[in-house]
Every structure is written in C-alpha cells, then in structure tokens.
Structure 1
Amino acid sequence: MTADKLLEAVAPLVADLGSGLPAEELYRRLLQSLRLLLPCDAAALLRLEDGSLLPLAVDGLSRDTLGRRFRIAEHPRFAALLGAAGPLRFPSDSALPDPYDGLVEGLHGDLPVHDCVGCPIQLHQRIWGLLTLDALQPDRFSRGDLAALQLFANLAAGIVTVAGRIEQLENRVALESLRAEGYRLAAAPRARELIGRSTAMRRLVADIETVAGSELSVLIQGETGVGKELVAEAIHAGSPRAARPMISLNCAALPETLVESELFGHVKGAFTGATSDRPGKFELADGGTLFLDEVGELSMPVQAKLLRVLQSGQLQRLGSDREHHVDVRLIAASNRDLADEVKAGRLRADFYHRLSAYPLRVPPLRERGRDVLLLSGFFLEENRSRLGIGAARLDASAQAALLAYDWPGNVRELEHLLGRSALKARARHPQRPRILSLTAEDLDLEGRRAEVAPAIEGADSADSATDAPRQGESLQQAVDALKRQRLLAALAAHGFNRAAAAQSLGLDRANLIRLAKRLGVALEPVK
C-alpha cells in the first residue's frame, strides 16, 4: 500500500468532516473508503453499549444486521477485539465462531476459512466500539493493512466527535443507567429501544426528544401493536424524572370497580377485600412518570377524579378523608381516536385536552418501509440466543415476503411471527444447525392473509348492508350498527375465538369484550 493510495482514501473523509453530513452518511462513507483501500467482502462499524455491540453502519452485510444487538458474552471474537490493544487479526483456522455467519451478502451457509481483522475505537481513553473487516480469501490482510485499519479507527473516532455523537452517547449511557434504576424501583422489566430509520420513525424520535425534557402531558395514539409503551418509556428515559420509576397501568385490563383503587389507593375496610392500606399508582409514581395505557377505557366518573389529580396534584385514597400530594407526569396511550370519543360523548373534553398537551402518533409498521428488516434482525438475534443456535438469518424470499406484507398486528405481530417461524424452522433439523435460515415458506404470510380475508369480506358485506341510513336513525346509532356488523362478522369468521377476532379488527381482546357487551353482541355462537 502506497502513501498516495492511503491519502486518496483518507482525504475525502477529512473533507466530509466539515460538510455537515448526517452521522449515518459519514459512517457509510468511512466504510466505503476503508473497503476501497483494503478490498474485502464485508465491513462494519459497531458501537459498544451496555454489554452489546450495536451496528451503526455495514457494507457487504445483509440489511437486517443493522437491527441486531450482539451480546459480547455470546460472541468471543468481539470480546477478543474489544480486549485488544490495537488491530487484531484472527488466524484463518480460528475455532472462534464468527458473528457474521449467515450475514455476508451473496453467501449462504457457514463462512468458509477466511481472513478476519478488527480494531477497537477509543474515545477519551474508553472503548467506544469496533471496526471489523472480513475477506473470504484467506491471508488477504497484511501487517501494513493493520496499520491502515488503526488509522481508520482513529478517523472513526474523529467522525464521531465532529458529528456530536460523544455527548449524545454519554447522555444515553447515563439515561440508560437511570432508566434501569427506575425499573428496579418499579419492579418492572427494562424496556427495549426503539428501532427504525424510516422517515416516519425519525419524525417520531425527533418529537420524543422535543417533549421528553418538558413536564407536558403526552398522549400517544396508534394502532394495536405499534409499540406505544416503548414510546412512553423513551419519553420517561429522556426526562429529568428518569431516576424515578415509571409506573404503568393498563386501564382496559381492570374491572371498573378496581380502577379507582389501582389509581388512587385505598385504606383498610374501604370495600370488601380491602384488608390493609394500599397506595395507588399515583403515589408509587411520585416524582416519576405514570403511564396509562388504553386511557379511553376509563369511565366518566373516573375521568373526573383523575382530572382533579392532574390539575391539583391532590388525591384521596378510597375510604379516606386524608389528602396526599403527588408530583407525577402523565403519559397516556390509546388505540382509539380520542377526539372522536369526545364527539361521541364517551370522553370528557376537558380530560382529553389535559391529556393531549403534546399528542404523538406512532406510525403503523406498514408505513415504515424497510424498518421491518431492521426489526426482524433484532428479533432474530433474540431468538438465536434462546434457541441456542449459532446464527439466524432471512433469505431473499423471506425478506421480500416481510416487505410485501401489510402487518395488521404491527411490530407485535412481527415479533410473534419470527419467534414462531424460528421455532418451526429449528424443529425441522434433527441436529441443532449452526445457521438457521428462514424462508418465505417458514413465515407463511400468505396463510395469514387467508385467515384474515373472511373477516374482511364479512366487514365489506356489513358495509354494504349499512351504507344507507335508516329512517329516523341518528349518526351514533348508524356507527354502532356498523360496529355491530363488523364485530359479528369477525367473530363468525374466527369461530368465535375472541383473541383471533380482536386481532383481525385491530383491537385488544379486553376491548373487544367490552365493545361486544356495550353493543349487545353475543360472544358465543347462537345454538
């Protein structure tokens, strides 16, 4: 390698540092220049965070690699690179499993004997991440190439600094630590991060960053399964309250008689079964955040009491005259359009306006484009660990099928689908495979479309039956009639399986049951 060739590869990157390009583009150009200088089959830039390596940019690896989180404890090659004082080259006959098995573009099956090098990236005397190169040709890299890799690792550190990533990453580490403490206090599991690079997700993340540091109430709206609770956790994690717990309550999962006790607490003897004093969710969340999921399910009387607490910070436990003061930030979520609920008279207007000081909409998965592949990589990496296999990947047919599907159940449906498909694919192999490759046939998305089709056809016929308003029928009566027809069609199409019918309609099971009772729809077939 000549000095001129090295200068030719590095000079454009140095010029890019002052160009104001987004960090992702700078990272991509870094890898392209590195592969131009050191020809190879794959390159990756990975950031170290909480015991895992997160790919920020890849070149020559499959797209779903960007959604993966490589746990250091499970990948000895990465552990060796992070522990190295500088560039490290693995022997071509190294017995250590390669984390990129099944992920190199154009290669199916195990990686053959190949050449693998990597270098840790340091910022402020701390390991920030890794640069890795893989070549299918053995003995591709030389000692001089290692020196060039070290130079690019230093350049990567400079790019991170110029892009302003240092402060963001340090804040992220601090916030993750605070959030973990909050979850320990709340005795709740730690949340996963939001994954996605689509325009819709970038807009959502920008809104989260805007509102997180304020004290405004936030109303998160979106379809079932889009990840509204993850958005709430991200807002809490980015707020000054992150050191305190975030307490969650699903308003649709509780009988109406218990909602007030759950929210405000009770004293001994307040009602049958109240054998001791018990604080409510508001008191548990004091100083932190209260997340109310499916808030549109609350009754009007509870809405009024909740509004008083939000306005004054004062509450009384059931059965007590003593007032407690709480300092709580409220984040609410619903899969309904709550503005329509106000118009229909099922939600107080003052309560709605108090909730929606800053409204957020979580986009459905069908609006997020190739994010489905990033999310798939994340879920496959989790399932790979659970199933005890070396690697899990999607072949081209599986990726195409995922991109073509419309995802009525959104991210939750994708997570369950990949877990189920990986388990089925694993069961096909008498011996545990090193690389599990999922195909479109494993996913069987066409079969899922066929399952949903009868409910859609039934809903369409219901539409035609109710298109014309009846004599003397009000708008609300017409809306209820349409809901009744759709509900009956979905239940009939799924053999009165409530969970399946709810999924086809984009509802939670509890919401479907409550709606059926309100509309007078039988939940069992008429005999």
Structure 2
Amino acid sequence: MTTNPLLQSLIPLVGDIARDLPAAERYRRLLHALRVLLPCDAAALLRLEGDLLVPLAVDGLSADTLGRRFRIDQHPRFAALLEARGPLRFPADSPLPDPYDGLVDGVDGHLPVHDCVGCTVHLDDRPWGLLTLDALDPDRFSEADLATLQSFGHLAAATVSVAGRIAQLQSRVERESLRAEGFRLAAGPRTRSLIGRSPALRELQKQIDLVAGSDLPVLIQGETGVGKELVAEALHAASSRAARPMISLNCAALPDTLVESELFGHVRGAFTGAVGERPGKFELANGGTLFLDEVGELALPVQAKLLRVLQSGQLQRLGSDRDHHVDVRLIAASNRNLADEVRAGRLRADFYHRLSVYPLPVPPLRERGRDVLLLAGFFLEESRSRLGLGGLRLDAGAQAALLAYDWPGNVRELEHLLGRSVLKALGRHAQRPRILSLEAVDMDLPGKAGGALVDTAADEAVAASAPVPSLASSGRGEGRSLRDAVQAFERTLVVDTLAANGFNGAAAARALGIDRGNLVRLAKRLGVSMQRPEAREHPPVGGR
C-alpha cells in the first residue's frame, strides 16, 4: 500500500504537538520534515515583528542567519510573500534579490539562489511570519509543490500556536503582554535586543525574567562591551514600569560638578550658567526606571546624596530647599568590581549594598560559544542595509576566525571589527559585487586567522608605542595582585602620555582616547599630578 508523502511528513509532527518540547526544537523538526517532503537546499521560518522579519529556525543556511534582522522594506521578496494571498513562487529570472544569496551552507563562491517559494503563516487570520524554501536548481519547484506548501503552512501555524501557548503559560502571558504593550507605547520598538542561544546567555535571560517583575535595585556587572545597557533595557521592558520611560545616565561622561545637576536637577541661579529651572534624571524617570551606567565613577559626596534619594524617595534640586518625591526603580552598571572599590575607600559601603540588592553578572563574549556567529549575522545585516549591498556573507575561514578569537572587547569589539572588515572586503573589488564575501584576511584579528597572517601593520604599531614596564624585571611583580599591576601600568601610561604632550590635559586625553573629565578623575584616582614638574616645585603666589 502506497502512503501519501505529505501524510508521512505530518504524522510525526502531529505527534510532536502533544509533546513538551522547546520551541526551537519544534521549529527545527518542522523545517526538517518540510525539506524531506520538498527536497531543497535551504528552509527557514521567520517571525514578523513590526517591520522586521526575525529568523526563528533555519535548515541549510549559515548559522549567522539566525542573528539577522531583515527589514521588509529592504527585501522585496519578503514583502511580496507577505502581500500574497497564498503560496508564491519566484521565477528563476526574477530581478528581485534573494535575501539568502550567499548564505546557503556548503556553497563555495557567490552562487545565488535560483528557485524560491514561500508562504505566509497566519495565526488568528493575521500574518505571523513566513515559511520559505530555496533551491540552487532553477527548476526544483512546481505548481503542485505550492499546494503542498500551503498544507504544510497550516501545520506550521498549528506548531507555532502550540509553542506560543506553552510559552504563555510559562511566562504568565497576561502580565507580560501588558508590560510589553506599555513599553511599546512609551518607547516604541527596540532596535536591538539580546541575541544568542548559548547556555550562558540563557542563564542571563532566566535571571532577567526572574528579577524584572520586582522593584529590587539591580547591579549589572561585566566587562566593557558586553552589552550592559541592553540588559538594563530588557529588565525595564519586562517590568511593571515598562509603560513609563527608562532614563539613562553615563556617570563617567560628566565632570563631578555637573553630576548632581543631572541627577537631581537645579533651580535658576544655583550655579554659573543655571539660567532656568530644570528637572534632573530622577524626576524624568518618575514612575519608571533610572539606569546609571559606570556608577563606580560617582564621587563620594554624590553617593551620599544619591543614597538618601534611594532610601526615602525625596530629593532637592540643586540650589533649592523644596523636596520632590520620586518613585523610581534603579538599575546600575559597572565594569569594576565594586566590592573592591568599597575596600579601597572609593565607594561607600552603604551605597554599594543599596545598589547590589540583586547582582546580575553579564558573561563575556568568549564564554558564549557560537553566539558570536549569531551576533555577527545581526551586525552584518545592519552593514548590508547601511551600505546598500545585495548580500553579505561570512566564508568558512572568517567564521572559524571569529570563533577562535578571545574578544577582549566583547560584543562592541565584534561590531566595530565587522564594520571595518566589510569596508576592507569592498576595497578588494574594483566593482561592487552583488554578494560580498568576508574572508579571514579582511579581519584584523591578532595571530593567524583561517591560515592567513594578519596584516603586520598592527604589530608594527604596537612595537612603536610606549613600552610596557615589566613587573618581573623591576622586581616588584612577586606577590602583587592583578589589580595592583593594572594600576601601576595605568599610572605609568598616564604619566608618560602627559609628559609627551607637554602636560596639556586635553591633548593627553585625546592621545589616550578618553575625554578630559575622565582623564582628570583617572589621574586623581592614581595619585598622578597633571601639572608640569616646575609648577609643582614653584607654585604661583596666592595659588592653590
């Protein structure tokens, strides 16, 4: 007896509906069954989020595809599929660019997709997303395949519906949907979010979900560039305050004289230049969330005033004796170990304990495994859109180089590196290619990447820079903590840079790549004078 191929594919999937499976596994099985039923080179399931299509599962496409966010107005094939009343097949000679050109696994070079079909997945009579199939053979699909795809699309809708209902039960959907709606009304769609599927990121997301619903202060700690602000945004978006604004302040970007005014506001005449009354960040965040980035940079007097507001909810604008009441949830972030700052006397113990009611460590990129490829896909899609490229892909060597690198600068370093790499790759072509392929040689990673030596210009630049003092040769390295060693290096670097720039603070700050206010604070913390040696020996009469 001959069994219908469609029925053979549907039976195990119908059985999966009754099983307790993670959503990602449901979608993977769905695409695998679809490729068995309609053999092709690649399949994808994408969810519609506003004007973006977000890949939830791919089969036969590069791993970085999952990190991409496709703008519908920049991908006419996706737009056509969403507007069609049923399944749609694009002719092999269609002038519309295919979003997956160059992303099909196992394909060397720039061979584009030649046959493409897809259909909209509907939930409750509304478009939820897309199901797409792509083949390099221009005659792979037929009209009969479109009817099969339509039937499979209904099963995809059922699978998506089941996964959604399970997720709703797990996350208490009614409360979360109200929060998300409030956030959309208050702040509009978020342009970026946490991307990744590694165990480290899943644990972070679990902790975010756990604490977001409370009003506990959260201290986000992690290395520079890990995405602490994205974590703060995720906490706010999932909180009961999501309908109210989240106000951010980078405490390291302002001199001490302006921090109080920014936090608490001021009245007219409070200081030179205060020509009017102005609310501070606390009042602007009333009812919502205040995010203080680099909170360890705050001066001790500011910490004391901030502690009073956190304890009582009462504040006074600078130059005023009138109290203002605020209701604010505080989220703070720092790349320093604040417990060490307390022991060093640079942070008040009571202020630290008020901040760190719920500490939330953010994992560095080197601990997130293949998340680097998903993030690379996100940044590459942004670059493709920004530069107006038809397609942008990573070859196998580039992917291996990204996975092998340690990423001391974390996600921010990855973003900047890919931006540079795209420009370098473009520079290798006399004419702009339809599909641009990034190779390991385009990435200025140290050491060897994909078998190619990195440009030695970087090594020469390092050799020409100021020498790093050797702790071992100076006899001071033994028994020294890492923090002491880092501070010693910082002190030497600041002193040498000031001397090289004639003790001009602005010039030295530019040479170090920081603003002058940060250099002043850094020098003060390290005990380094920014005056010329002769000025220190012979201070001006009447000077301080």
Structure 2 length-normalised TM: 0.86
Is it true that 1:24 corresponds to 2:33 in the alignment?
Answer: no
Alpha carbons 2:179, 2:240 under 8 Å: kept: no
Q: 2:542 maps to what in 1?
A: none
SS in 1 for 2:186: helix
Q: 2:521 maps to what in 1?
A: 514
Q: 1:94 maps to what in 2?
A: 94
SS in 2 for 1:163: helix
SS in 1 for 2:279: coil
Task: Name whichever of 104-113 and 436-445 sits farther off.
Answer: 104-113
- 2-structure distance, mates of 1:304, 1:264: 13
Q: 2:393 maps to what in 1?
A: 393
Q: 1:483 maps to what in 2?
A: 487
Residue correspondences, number: 512
Q: Give the fraction of aligned pairs with identical amino acids, expressed as a percent.
A: 69
SS in 2 for 1:211: helix
Change in Cα spacing, 1:3 to 1:53, as seen in structure 2 (3 Å) is: farther
Q: 1:458 maps to what in 2?
A: 468
SS in 1 for 2:133: strand
Q: 2:541 maps to what in 1?
A: none
Measured after TM superposition, the shift of residue 21 of structure 1 is 1.4
Measured after TM superposition, the shift of residue 312 of structure 1 is 0.9
Matching of residues 120-135 of structure 1 within 5 Å = 120-135=120-135
Change in Cα spacing, 1:118 to 1:175, as seen in structure 2 (3 Å) is: farther
Q: 1:330 maps to what in 2?
A: 330
Matching of residues 96-245 of structure 1 within 5 Å = 96-112=96-112, 114-164=114-164, 167=168, 178-183=182-187, 190-245=190-245
Measured after TM superposition, the shift of residue 493 of structure 1 is 11
- 2-structure distance, mates of 1:456, 1:149: 64
Query: What residue ranges of structure 1 are gaps of 5+ in the alignment?
Result: none
Alpha carbons 1:67, 1:376 under 8 Å: kept: yes
Is it true that 1:467 corresponds to 2:477 in the alignment?
Answer: yes
Change in Cα spacing, 1:41 to 1:331, as seen in structure 2 (3 Å) is: same
- 2-structure distance, mates of 1:210, 1:193: 18
Task: Name whichever of 174-183 and 99-108 sits farther off.
Answer: 174-183
- 2-structure distance, mates of 1:78, 1:463: 63
Task: Name whichever of 148-157 and 52-61 sits farther off.
Answer: 148-157
SS in 2 for 1:10: helix
- 1-structure distance, mates of 2:63, 2:201: 17
Measured after TM superposition, the shift of residue 181 of structure 1 is 4.1
Query: In the TM superposition, what whole-angstrom CA distance separates every residue of 1:186-217 from its partner, at most 9, and x where no partner exists?
Result: xxx95511111111000111111111111111
Query: What residue ranges of structure 2 are gaps of 5+ in the alignment?
Result: 447-453, 502-507, 535-544
Alpha carbons 2:179, 2:241 under 8 Å: kept: no
Q: What is the Cα-based RMSD across aligned positions, in Å?
A: 3.1
Matching of residues 179-328 of structure 1 within 5 Å = 179-183=183-187, 190-328=190-328
Change in Cα spacing, 1:257 to 1:148, as seen in structure 2 (3 Å) is: same
Measured after TM superposition, the shift of residue 272 of structure 1 is 1.3
Change in Cα spacing, 1:415 to 1:276, as seen in structure 2 (3 Å) is: same
Alpha carbons 1:114, 1:137 under 8 Å: kept: yes
Measured after TM superposition, the shift of residue 428 of structure 1 is 3.0
- 2-structure distance, mates of 1:491, 1:379: 38
- 2-structure distance, mates of 1:301, 1:50: 46
Alpha carbons 1:46, 1:54 under 8 Å: kept: yes
Alpha carbons 2:495, 2:528 under 8 Å: kept: no
Change in Cα spacing, 1:396 to 1:131, as seen in structure 2 (3 Å) is: same
Q: 1:37 maps to what in 2?
A: 37
Query: In the TM superposition, what whole-angstrom CA distance separates every residue of 1:135-171 from its partner, at most 9, and x where no partner exists?
Result: 1122222233222212221112212222235747998
- 1-structure distance, mates of 2:515, 2:111: 44
Change in Cα spacing, 1:299 to 1:489, as seen in structure 2 (3 Å) is: closer
Is it true that 1:76 corresponds to 2:84 in the alignment?
Answer: no
- 2-structure distance, mates of 1:172, 1:39: 40
Is it true that 1:376 corresponds to 2:376 in the alignment?
Answer: yes
Alpha carbons 2:255, 2:517 under 8 Å: kept: no
The one-letter code matched in structure 2 to 1:396 is A
Query: In the TM superposition, what whole-angstrom CA distance separates every residue of 1:501-520 from its partner, at most 9, and x where no partner exists?
Result: 67xxxx99965653333223
The one-letter code matched in structure 1 to 2:309 is V
Alpha carbons 2:68, 2:374 under 8 Å: kept: yes
Query: In the TM superposition, what whole-angstrom CA distance separates every residue of 1:72-123 from its partner, at most 9, and x where no partner exists?
Result: 0011110111111121111122111111011011224444572211011000
Measured after TM superposition, the shift of residue 247 of structure 1 is 0.6
- 2-structure distance, mates of 1:372, 1:161: 30
- 2-structure distance, mates of 1:491, 1:69: 46
- 2-structure distance, mates of 1:201, 1:230: 13
The one-letter code matched in structure 2 to 1:466 is R
SS in 2 for 1:466: coil
Query: In the TM superposition, what whole-angstrom CA distance separates every residue of 1:209-268 from its partner, at most 9, and x where no partner exists?
Result: 111111111100000011000100111111111111111101111111111111000111
- 2-structure distance, mates of 1:271, 1:508: 23
